[in-house]
Amino acid sequence: METKRGLFIVIEGVDGSGKSTQADLLANYLRSLGRKVHHTMEPTESGLGGMVRDGLGGEHPRTSEELAAMFLADRVAHNVSPKSGIKQFLESGTDVVCDRYYYSSLAYQGVDGPFDWVADMNLKSPVIEKPDLCIFIDLDPKKCSERIHSGRSHFEIFEENEAMIAETRRRYGKVFEFLKDRENIAIIDGARTIEEVFEDIKKEIEKLR
Ligand code: ADP
Ligand code: TYD
């Protein structure tokens, strides 16, 4: 009997928008429906993911191009790893919920010049799976910043200030405009309670099932 392919759902948003909170809820919700779920994230927790995190941390600053290539390598490994790869999970009927994916590379590294290059590397790669749905949690940068400051003490280079978050949000807008005819993208208002945001996510999931 042919195994039905799992659903591949990505949660995106600027730092502090509520991605990991909603990804946790979504993974648990799908499990409660009796589905098998692999909850994962990018950068990954592998060696490559660790190198990328070092590049973000500020001690060894990298150019956008270097970061784009490093995130790409991490993403390729994330897809093709024989034991824990996204492809293998989907083909064996397991849903994959991923906190950030190539939309982040387009928004954070695809600044001006390299945008086409970053888009091509990710979207034309024969080994990078296309998600069934990308959920973007949209939230005002001021609220993101408030949430980040109340919950964390460590700041990465992209979390430095509200202006930067606002710029990233604007770039995500451009990315989704660019992808609108070829990808399934749901933009969800994150400025509500955790439960209210999740209700909208559930509605998007229902459309896929
Ligand atoms: P991200 O993964 O996008 O950085 P998190 O899910 O870690 O965001 O959320 C950032 C902080 O905001 C956490 O302290 C979290 O508990 C809180 N938070 C998440 N969603 C909401 C919400 N809808 N309303 C209020 N606080 C929230
Ligand atoms: P992380 O610690 O996972 O933060 P968050 O909870 O906000 O997701 O840090 C991930 C950082 O990596 C985040 O600032 C965005 C950045 N990033 C890129 O710049 N490009 C990418 O392709 C990905 C996946 C992440």
Burial of 134 (0-12, 13-18, 19+ CB in 10 A): buried
Ligand 2 pocket member 109 (CB < 6 A): yes
Low-confidence ranges of the chain (pLDDT < 50): none
Q: Which atom of ligand 2 is nearest to the CA of 52?
A: 12
Residue 140 CB contacts under 8 Å (≥ 6 apart), including other chains: 191
Closest CA to 101 of 4, 172, 24: 172
pLDDT of residue 148: 85
Buried/exposed 146-162: b ≥16 CB within 10 Å, e otherwise = ebbeeeeeeeeeebeeb
Ligand 1 pocket member 17 (CB < 6 A): yes
pLDDT tens, residue by residue, 12-55: 999 999 999 999 999 999 999 999 999 999 999 999 999 999 88
What is the pTM (predicted TM-score) of this model? Answer: 0.95
Nearest ligand to residue 168 Cα: 2
